[in-house]
Amino acid sequence: MDKLKSVLSGEEARRDDRTVLETVNEASTLGWGTRVKGFIACFVVGAACTVLGVCMLFLPRIGLILFIVFYTFGNICALCSTMFLMGPLKQLKRMCDKTRALATTIMITCLVLTLCAAFWWKNFGLALLFVILQVLSFTWYSLSYIPFVREAILKLVAVCIK
C-alpha cells in the first residue's frame, strides 16, 4: 500500500532522480550528538597517535619508523575527525575549494611521500623533511578555516622580510 501511495503521489519519481551520492549521504546521516562523539573520538585517537609517535622517536633503531607511522596516522585521524562534524561530502568539497586546494594537495602528497620515504625508499632524512612539510601544510590548511588569518600571516612575513 505504501508503494502505491508513493507512486501515485510522485514520490517514487523523485526518489529515482536522486544521485548515488545523495542516497549514500541520506543513508549515512548522523545525529548531532553522534557527530560530536565521533569527532572527539577520532580527534583524540589522532592526538594520541601523534604524541605516541613523538615518544617513539627516542627509541633506538625502530623509533624513527614508529614516529613516522604514528605521526602520519595521527594527522590522517585528525583530518578525518572534521568529517564527522561537516559530513564527508561537505568536507571533501571544502578541501577542494580554491582557497584550500593547494594546501590540501600538498598535505595529502606529503602524507603519502612520508610513508614512501620511510618504507620503500628507506631514506629517513627525506621522511623527516616530509614530516616537516606535513606540519606546515596541515597548519596552513587548518588556518584557512579562520577568516583573514592566512592573509595576516602573509602580511606579517612580508613586513619581516623587508
Read off the pLDDT of each residue in 21-39 and give the average, rounded to a whole number. Answer: 76
Residue 2 lies inside a defined structural domain of this protein: no
Residue 8 lies inside a defined structural domain of this protein: no
Q: Which domain holds residue 71?
A: 31-161
Q: What is the pLDDT of residues 82-119, one digit of tens each?
A: 888 888 888 899 999 998 999 999 999 999 999 999 99
Average pLDDT, the chain: 86
Closest CA to 112 of 93, 145, 137: 137
Residue 84 lies inside a defined structural domain of this protein: yes
Residue 45 lies inside a defined structural domain of this protein: yes
Residue 128 lies inside a defined structural domain of this protein: yes
Residue 18 lies inside a defined structural domain of this protein: no
The number of folded domains in the chain is: 1
Residue-level pLDDT at 31 = 83
Residue 21 lies inside a defined structural domain of this protein: no
Between 21 and 83, whose confidence is greater?
A: 83
Give backbone dihedrals phi and psi of 119, rounded to 5 degrees, phi first.
-100, -40
Closest CA to 100 of 135, 154, 138, 152: 138
Residue 20 lies inside a defined structural domain of this protein: no
Note whether 104 and 134 are within 8 A (CB): no
